[in-house]
Amino acid sequence: MEFGFLLVLRVSEKRVAMTKVLIATEKPFAEKAISLIQDVFLNAGFECVYLERYTRREDFLEAIKTSDAVIIRSDIVDRKALSLAENLKLIVRAGAGYDNVDVEAASEKKVVVMNTPGQNSNAVAELAIGLAVYGMRNMFTGASGSELRGRTLGLHGYGYVARNVKRIAEGFGMNVVVFTRYSKQRAESEGLFVTDSLEELYAISDVVSIHVPARGEHLKSVSFEVLRHLKENALLINTARKEVINEDDLINFMRFRPDVKYLADIAPDKAAEFEKCFKGRYFFTPKKIGAQTAEANINAGVAAAGQVVEFFKNGDTTFQVNRG
Ligand code: 3PG
């Protein structure tokens, strides 16, 4: 049986007054990020508990019990964890998507939830473009492929990651188009063509890259109705979340459109179906790796640590996502 790695760093003997911060990352930060995070908490006089690479849920539940704040990545903070966390005042998701936190349960307990928007977005954007190259070159099998230059990239959503994808894609000589409900003005002010509908985006793009969060109207928004508009030989890239795809619809669609490929950062629930039916037409990373770079770990981890300190010292809630 494997146990999570638990290290307690005490920065002074004045334990009673200390704010206790748990850094719980099943997928660990790079070493450099850890050392910089540690510096932030040492300077602030906070106590840090590190729970990394843990494999047992019980270890996380035990560790969160006495913490004032917790920094997580894709680690699950559900209603049960919140019910045990009697001292908890703050959850900082070091990253963008906070679908792993039960925000409703946190709000009920008056626990503030924050993310660190934009801090890891370049890493995810680079992966999206990497997947596009991989797909265009027939998964590096050696079969003659195609180039990105001159092709149309459709960005489904226009948040921080998509904006980085746009920057990189333009360097490749791609034409970038967008469908966005919330960042229309920004996209237009950058000279981008914003489509009137998702269907239109899928119809005019050679490569579609998905950049919407796993909540609200985005859940299962990539449906058969949308997919059926895809151009011949289109690539669908998903570095967002599997939950934004209607998997059954994607499977049905790929059955009758053998020209289309799907590449994603993390396997769908029905990965076995893809293996059985779509060999050579899909690729999934073994684990979510979009933000798994030293740079992204440093940016998001240090930002998260800074937000914890600012919250406890100055009441700063700038990045709170559960207001009202
Ligand atoms: C995010 O939402 O920030 C990304 O998906 C990265 O998630 P990770 O921290 O689990 O790698």
Q: Are residues 268 and 298 in the same domain?
A: no
pTM of the model: 0.93
Residue 319 lies in a domain: no
Q: Are residues 150 and 235 in the same domain?
A: yes
Ligand 1 centroid–CA 272 distance in Å is 24
Q: Are residues 219 and 112 in the same domain?
A: no
What is the rounded (10 degree) CA torsion for 158, 164, 167, 168?
Answer: -130
Report pLDDT for 40. 98
Number of domains in the chain: 2
Residue 321 lies in a domain: no
Q: Are residues 211 and 146 in the same domain?
A: yes
Residue 262 lies in a domain: yes
9 or 270: which carries more pLDDT confidence?
270
pLDDT digits (tens, 9 = 90+) for 277-309: 999 999 999 999 999 999 999 999 999 999 999
Atom 6 of ligand 1: nearest residue by CA position: 291
Report pLDDT for 264. 98
Ligand 1 and 73: CB distance under 6 A = yes
Residue 2 lies in a domain: no
| Average pLDDT value for the chain | 95
Ligand 1 centroid–CA 285 distance in Å is 13
Residue 221 lies in a domain: yes
Question: pLDDT-based confidence at 324, cuts 50/70/90?
Answer: confident
Question: pLDDT-based confidence at 221, cuts 50/70/90?
Answer: very high
pLDDT higher than threshold 70 for residue 11: no
Residue 88 lies in a domain: yes
Contacts of 41 (CB under 8 A, 6+ apart): 9, 11, 21, 47, 48, 305, 308, 309
Ligand 1 centroid–CA 169 distance in Å is 21
Q: Are residues 70 and 200 in the same domain?
A: no
Contacts of 254 (CB under 8 A, 6+ apart): 260, 262, 277, 278, 281, 282
Q: Are residues 112 and 30 in the same domain?
A: yes
Residue 322 lies in a domain: no
Q: How far apart are CA 115 and CA 91, in angstroms?
A: 8
Tell me the average pLDDT across 34-54: 97
Ligand 1 atom showing the smallest separation from residue 115 Cα: 3
Ligand 1 and 290: CB distance under 6 A = yes
Q: Are residues 26 and 138 in the same domain?
A: no
Atom 2 of ligand 1: nearest residue by CA position: 97
Q: Are residues 127 and 112 in the same domain?
A: no
Ligand 1 and 32: CB distance under 6 A = no
Report pLDDT for 17. 58
pLDDT digits (tens, 9 = 90+) for 147-194: 999 999 999 999 999 999 999 999 999 999 999 999 999 999 999 999
Ligand 1 centroid–CA 96 distance in Å is 6
Tell me the average pLDDT across 198-205: 98
Which helix (H) or strand (E) element contains residue 271? helix 271-277
Ligand 1 and 288: CB distance under 6 A = yes
Q: Are residues 115 and 141 in the same domain?
A: no
CATH of the domain at 249: 3.40.50.720
Q: Are residues 244 and 255 in the same domain?
A: yes
Ligand 1 centroid–CA 54 distance in Å is 17
Q: Are residues 266 and 169 in the same domain?
A: yes
Q: Which of 258, 287, 256 is nearest to 271 (CA)?
A: 287
pLDDT digits (tens, 9 = 90+) for 227-240: 999 999 999 999 99
Atom 11 of ligand 1: nearest residue by CA position: 291
Domain that holds residue 268: 121-284
Residue 261 in tokens: 């490929």
Q: Are residues 132 and 262 in the same domain?
A: yes
pLDDT higher than threshold 80 for residue 250: yes
